Structure 1
Amino acid sequence: MRAEGSSPPPPDPVSTPEPSNSTTLDSLAPLTPASVPAASRKRKRPPIKGSSPAPSDPASNGGGNANSTDLLATSRADLSSRPILKIMRGPTFIPITEGSEWFKTEQVAVNRVGYRYVPAGINPPGHPTPCRTIESNPTSFRISWEDRSPFLKVSKDGLSVGGSKGFRSARCNAPIREGKWYMEVKILHGGGDQIGDDSLREGSHVRLGWGRREAPLNGPVGLDGYSYGYRDKTGEKVTLSRPRPYGRPFGTGDIIGMYISLPPRRPPNKKDPLDPAHLKRERIPIDLKGQEVFEILEYPQCKEMVALMDYSGKTTSSVSVPSSSKKTANGKIPERGGPAPTGAKPATPNLRPLPILADSRIAFFVNGESQGVAFQDIYDYIPLRQSDARKSNSRKRSAREGVKEHRENPFDDGTLGYYPFISLFNDASIRLNPGPDFDFPPPADIDALLDKQAHPNGVDTTNTSIPCPKPAPEDTKMETDVDNTDISVHADDCDPSNITIQVAPASPPAAEPQQTWQPACERYPQFMREEWAFDDVETEEAREELAKAAAADKVDEDKRKQREKRRLQAEARRVADARRRTEEKVRKAGEAKAARLGGSDQERPMTPPAPYAAFAPERNQPSPSPLRHSTAFEADGSAEYEASPAPTHVSYDEPKGGQSGYTSENPNDNDMDIDQDIEALIASDTPT
């Protein structure tokens, strides 16, 4: 059974070796043998805190099925193949029982401890950011599908919510950040009523109030300092788990009005880049349960707020405990928690001050009857300034984990504020009425009513009595206005017959006071406009970052080309220097040869000798035999042939050396030796 307008989830993704780590938009890569961790004897480390929660978590409905946490594709083409949505697909409503008005939801990312989710939509191709914020049906002020305990049941319109067992809570889908806002909540079952034949001893109970993002959903409103509640059983107000007398109890059928007034939001200090009031997002787009969502690291509870919960009377200061390996003078190990050493100064915790929202107030109405101001000057929802130690740890973690991992956000991300907070115990149920039509409309100026209730004994200066006039000079006239009536009393005597009454014309009726508060239904469209404006800001920032990255890439490419050009020039110079050195050596060898042969050769132009033409750049031929001067063949009948000293068939029987030109007295032998020396010298210096 699938909700109308929803689409089926994508096919089952291929499981990875570690499905417990959700991956980001930038981290999808095919699994290679190098990326698969081999068997190692090293101690396994616990998972990084900033990683995504495990899909195998029972609340996540993961474990390798279609609802498990998957990756969004990294390439633009893969993202473009997914549908571009303006409204979220889910949720899918599954009735609790056949024909029931209550449903549980599937195909929706429900917040879990430390993480929350916001619907995301794929941007069209060419957009500088891959995803944007989108809405989910119905697009109105209601209970949030994601920001609630998974144990609560809901109606399809998101205005009714019911419990099961224990205290479970839900927040609405838009925060209150400033201004005056009002809404109503009808108690369907509460005040301790039993539902049907239920044998639960406590019955059903409701707590209503306002809470911040840090307030846990698996507990009642007022559990800590992050929320402020109103109890149905006793009518008490509660925060920090400390109930105080406030109003009258309420139960089934009652209609509770919830009013909150917050001062204008503090603008960030532009000169202080670490001011927590600056707007900044830290979110990662992922595919969870078949829907693109932004996964966000939830704001953690600060130690200052946790310290407020410690009302046991124990001191928060402590002294350093000595190491158990050291012994005292008597040889005994000192006891832990024992008396502090003499002169030791107690270490006081470094707690930051908790700012408040001046002139803020929370009030409740029961069936149109104001119960007065419940809470005044509540705590500010802007996070505390990040300490130096936490900043250094954040930098180290980001350097180790990289930009793909979650990082704690010390700034306002636009979702901070006070949300309507509904807590249900056992089978309690309620229905929201965000307006604009209320069963018990409050006065136009709720603050004026609350101020009057706060000061019921104010001085009444109105006096409509008419004293009897005393004798006075004639023609003396006393006038007083009572209900627009002009009474003139003449001083002749006190005879009533002498009193003339003149009725003045009636003044126009006073204009109705202007309404100073807004119904909660008007907050949702405002909040979505804020979110989309934030998306536009992020788009411009991403476009600027892309332009900077492109400019940096161009500079790097130019530098690479310059380096390549210089390398080629250096290589050409090296080759030219090697060639020049070779030619210089050949020239010097030729000069040396000419010096040995005498001055006649010095007058000839120095050119590489024929046997060494292989070293000249324009020739690459084998050198002729050095015996060329004595073995050249001459034709018969020539003069050179007739005078040749070479042996012939006539002189074969003559003694050796008689007619031969190869004697040691031949002057050409010295020339051959010089040629061999030059050839050996050049061969040793020629680069290979």
Structure 2
Amino acid sequence: MLVRGPSPAREDSPASTAIPLTAAPVHHAHNNKKRKHNALASHTATASPAPSEPGSSSLNPAENVVLPSYHDLATRPRLTISRHPVFVPLDERSPYNSTEQLAFNRIGFRYMPAGLAPPGTTLPFRTIESAPAASRVSWEDRSPFVKVTQDGLGLLGEKGFRSARCNAPVREGKWYMEVAIECGGGERQADAPPNKEGAHVRLGWGRREAPLNGPCGLDGYSYGVRDKTGEKVTLSRPRPYGRAFHSGDVVGMYISLPPLRQPNKNDQHDPAHVHRERIAIEFKGQEYFESLEYPQSKEMIALMDFSRKPADSAPVPPSTKKSATVKNVPERGRGGPAKPEPPPSRALPTLPDSNIAFFVNGESQGVAFRDLYDFLPLRAAANARKVAREKSRAREGTRQHKENPFDDGCIGYFPFISLFNGARVRLNPGPDFAFPPPPDVDALLSGRAKNEDDTRTWRPLSERYTEFMEEQWALDATEEVDARVEAAQRDELQRAEDAKKEKRERKRTQADSRKRAKREAELAAAAAAAPAPLPEPSASASYYVPKPEPEGEPKPDIGFTEPPAALPMEEDMRFGPDAPLPAFVLSGFAGDEGSPVPTGASTPGVQSGYGSELGDAEIDAEGDAEEVDVEPEEEEEEEDPYDPYRASNYRSAMRMEMEEDE
């Protein structure tokens, strides 16, 4: 048994107690197992009014949506008891109603009322009750074809067998309740056609995996008794048990379960560990916890196979004759790949010393069932856990439902009532019964002597509801503590990550500073070692022009012993770097061996026309050069020292000198 926690104080508000009678269209929750939820999705819908507030009768029907993010929840009312479903009476005089604006448990999905948690908590939602807060039929855990009274104790069936479960499961201990048959046992309605079957009832105990659109005892997840014959039934196999019951009878239902098994702390995959997988959603103005329902195991489904062969029967050997109509292809023939072996069946554990018994008008019918199947989920195989982990990694960033291989605290055996063709019953969870059983029911069923002190060993089911809600609030408190620890760990990891990031940024900044300083030092050293650049010539700079010699000074001897008799013609001269110089040139510099050939520009008092800016000049008798106003020529490239035109320039200068001397 879970540790009981203090029950939170209930707020007495009109939103928690009012019961409207306004009809509204029914829109069931969408049944899609691949639905994904984003826990922080933005939601702009305003808070829905409470049933007693104005506008409660005009709720806009909508599909179930994920609740808004935390900062948008301040606009929603904070309830401790969920809004009551909208009751629509079948007619003006009928006490039975259909319920709308409600999330019914569907195949594969389960719903439980949720509400905003108190301020200052880490988790935004918590489990809350639904009115009336007492043991009754569950508003959500029943077929919509089962009509109810507003106190949740009167039930009316329609059409075929439809079922409903009560709102608190039995997980351990001995419990008892009564069901009064108002219409059953094959009774016909006054206006029913003669060929129509009468009303029938099946009563018993069932788990959450038992389908609501079938009768009690349909499979191994429920155990029941039939009103028509008094037979007991499970796995759809009727067996003789007790006497039949009809309209006006009171049937007592008794169940005895062993103490709840404690989980193995060293086995993290033990299904006895309590863990809840649920997502808070909004459905038509009411918050719900939505979770995947436990699926039916293939081992339990295999028990329903009536055509199974005995285990000791030998298989028929395959025939070696080929079929005339089927080709021997690899996929279908004998040469095809072998099919993988199915996973081994898991053992279906049972609850030792457990039993179910029924009473009719206070008369014991004996033990109907012993050693019930354990309600804990079967242990998940290792490969199934691996696939679940891979799927969870692939879905990272989104909230998606996943199967829960552990006990969620809401499993057990529920009172299970099935009604057929207009059958009516009324529940009596106690503590006052029409036919109370003896204090020690087990002694009566086993035939042993009763207790001497005459103490009661069983409890009325009415006490189970309060105990169950305390268990749920204790789980809420445990999850809140775990959430705070996880939040503190996340904050610590975030701070450590921020510190590491800051340290990396600081090291990066220091490294960049060192690199910048090193680069600047290298640039400064390179600039100091480089030679000083030459000054750029200014626009006002001019080429050098030699000054004319002063008058009266003798002209220097240019070194010629005698003028040449005749100069060779230019066409007779050989050009090129290997051509010899003329004889008159060599004779004039006979004393200067190894010296370069003089030019007009290098001779004192002679101005050369090559490379000068003067252009064509007139040389007067005193040797002065008079500049002629002509257009300046473009600067020519430097001449090759072996260029023949260099010699011709030289001869022109010599010719002018000789003319002056004459």
SS at match of 1:119: strand
Contact kept? 2:20, 2:87, Cα under 8 Å = no
Query: What amino acid does structure 1 have at the position aligned with 2:498?
Result: E
Correspondence 1:517-528 to 2 at 5 A = 517-528=458-469
Q: Letter of the 1:26 partner, please give it.
A: A
1:28 maps to 2:28: no
Q: Aligned to 2:155, which of 161, 185, 190?
A: 161
Which amino acid counterpart does residue 89 of structure 2 have in structure 1? P
Check if 1:380 corresponds to 2:380.
no
Return the match for 2:434 from 436, 439, 444.
439
Cα displacement string for residues 292-349 of structure 1 (whole angstroms, at most 9, x for unaligned residues): 0000100000111111111213479999xx9xxxx979996259999999xx999575
1:121 aligns with 2:121: no
Give the distance between the partners of 2:60 and 2:330, measured in 1 at CA: 51
User: Quick one: which of 279, 284, 291 aligns to 1:289?
Assistant: 284
Give the aligned residue type for 1:395.
Answer: R
Alignment of 1:498-647 (within 5 A): 512-589=453-530, 592-593=531-532
Matched, 1:210 2:239: no
1:410 maps to amino acid: P
Counterpart of 1:197? Answer: 191
1:65 and 1:629 mapped to 2: Cα distance?
Answer: 94
Structure 1 residues 246, 346: CA separation in 2 closer, same or farther (over 3 Å shift)? farther
Shift of 1:87: 0.3
**1: CA distance between counterparts of 2:513 and 2:386?**
51
CA contact (8 A) 2:328 2:334 kept: no
1:240 positional shift: 0.3
- How many residues are paired up? 504
Distance 1:101 1:240 in 2: 34
- CA separation in 2, counterparts of 1:202 and 1:336? 54
Query: In structure 2, do the counterparts of structure 1 residues 626 and 558 end up closer, same or farther at CA, with 3 Å as the change threshold?
Result: farther
- RMSD of the TM alignment (CA)? 3.7
User: Structure 1 pair 231/331, CA: closer, same or farther in 2 (3 Å)?
Assistant: closer
Q: 2:299 aligns to what SS in structure 1?
A: helix
Superimposed CA distance per residue, residues 349-403 of structure 1 (whole angstroms, 9 cap, x where no aligned partner): 5111111100000000000000000001111101110012221221222222335
Contact 1:72 1:287 in 2 (8 A): yes
Aligned positions of 1:264-413 closer than 5 A: 264-314=259-309, 333-334=327-328, 350-402=344-396, 404-413=399-408
Letter of the 1:228 counterpart: Y
Residues 1:353 and 1:430: Cα distance change in structure 2 (over 3 Å): same
Q: Deviations over 1:108-163 (max 9, x none)?
A: 21111100100000124432111100000000000000000011100000011110
The answer (yes or no) to whether the contact 1:22–1:71 under 8 Å persists in 2 is: no
Q: Which amino acid aligns with 1:407?
A: K
Q: Within 2, Cα distance between the matches of 1:303 and 1:383? A: 12
Structure 1 CA distance for aligned equivalents of residues 399 and 234 of structure 2:
38
In structure 2, how many angstroms separate the alpha carbons of the residues matched to 1:230 and 1:156? 27
TM-score (norm 1): 0.67
Identify if the C-alpha distance between structure 1 residues 212 and 84 changes in structure 2 by more than 3 Å, giving closer, same or farther: same
CA distance in 2, matches of 1:337, 1:250: 57
Give the superposition deviation at 1:24: 3.2
Q: Per the alignment, in what secondary structure is the counterpart of residue 564 of structure 1?
A: helix
Query: Could you say if the C-alpha distance between residues 346 and 404 of structure 1 is closer, same or farther in structure 2, counting changes exceeding 3 Å?
Result: closer
Query: Structure 2 CA distance, aligned partners of 1:564 and 1:255?
Result: 79
Residue 177 of structure 1 pairs with residue 171 of structure 2: yes
Is the Cα contact below 8 Å between 1:206 and 1:423 reproduced in 2? yes
Alpha-carbon separation, structure 1, partners of 2:489 and 2:247: 61
Q: TM-score, normalised by structure 2?
A: 0.70
| CA displacement at 1:655 relative to structure 2 | 7.0
AA aligned opposite 1:404:
R
How far apart are 1:68 and its partner, in Å?
A: 1.9
Whether contact under 8 Å (2:115, 2:287) holds in the other structure is yes
Instruction: Name the CA shift for 1:338/1:188 in 2 (closer, same or farther; >3 Å).
Output: farther
Residue 85 (structure 2) pairs with residue 91 (structure 1)? yes
**1:73 alignment partner in structure 2:** 68
Identity %: 53
- In 2, Cα distance between the equivalents of 1:255 and 1:339? 62
Trace 1:240-255 onto structure 2 (pairs within 5 A): 240-255=235-250
Q: Check 1:223–1:318 CA distance in 2 against 1; reply closer, same or farther (3 A cut).
A: farther
Does the CA-based 8 Å contact 2:203-2:417 persist in structure 1?
yes
- Structure 2: tracts of 5 or more residues without a match: 1-14, 26-30, 45-58, 543-623, 628-662
- Judge conservation of contact 1:24–1:285 (CA < 8 Å) in 2: no
Instruction: Give 1:541 shift.
Output: 0.6
2-structure distance, mates of 1:383, 1:581: 75
2:487 is paired with a residue whose SS is helix
**CA displacement 1:602-642 (0-9 Å, x = unmatched):** xxxxxxx8x9xxxxxxxxxxxx96659989xxxxxxxxxxx
Q: Is the 1:257–1:365 Cα contact (8 Å) retained in structure 2?
A: yes
Evaluate the alpha carbon distance shift between residue 655 and residue 298 of structure 1 in structure 2; reply closer, same or farther with a 3 A threshold: farther
User: 1:148 touches 1:171 (CA, 8 Å); kept in 2?
Assistant: yes
SS of the residue aligned with 1:423? strand
| Contact 1:258–1:364 (CA under 8 A) maintained in structure 2 | yes
Distance 1:20 1:423, change over 3 A: closer
Q: CA deviation at 1:4?
A: 5.8
User: Is residue 238–residue 244 contact of structure 1 (8 Å, CA) maintained in 2?
Assistant: yes
One-letter amino acid of the counterpart of residue 78, structure 1: D
**CA 1:332–1:420: 2 relative to 1, 3 Å:** closer
Aligned residue in 2 for 1:41: none
Residue-by-residue CA offset, 1:516-550 (whole Å, 9 max, x unaligned): 00000000000000000000000011111111111
Q: Distance in 1 between matches of 2:212 and 2:222?
A: 11
For residues 310 and 266 of structure 1, the distance between their equivalents in structure 2, rounded to whole angstroms, comes to 30
CA distance in 1, matches of 2:383, 2:361: 51
Which residue type is aligned with residue 216 of structure 2? V
Q: What does 1:642-681 align with in structure 2 at a 5 Å threshold?
A: none
CA contact (8 A) 1:22 1:70 kept: no
Please say which structure displays the higher CA radius of gyration. Answer: 2
Instruction: Report the AA paired with residue 257 of structure 2.
Output: L
Distance 1:318 1:352 in 2: 23
Residues 531-587 of structure 1 show CA distances to partners (whole Å, capped at 9, x for unaligned) of: 000000000111111111111111111122122212222222222122111101111
CA distance in 1, matches of 2:339, 2:74: 64
Label 1:335 to 1:191 Cα distance change in 2 as closer, same or farther (>3 A).
Answer: farther
1:300 is aligned with what amino acid?
A: P
Give the match for residue 672 of structure 1: none
- Asked if 1 retains the 8 angstrom alpha-carbon contact of 2:217 and 2:223, the reply is yes
Equivalents in 1 of 2:501, 2:252: separation in Å? 69
Q: Could you tell me how far apart the structure 1 residues matched to 2:78 and 2:372 are?
A: 42
C-alpha distance 318-409 of structure 1, shift in aligned 2 (>3 A): farther
Tell me how far apart the structure 2 counterparts of residues 255 and 340 of structure 1 sit (CA, whole Å): 63
CA distance in 2, matches of 1:380, 1:194: 38
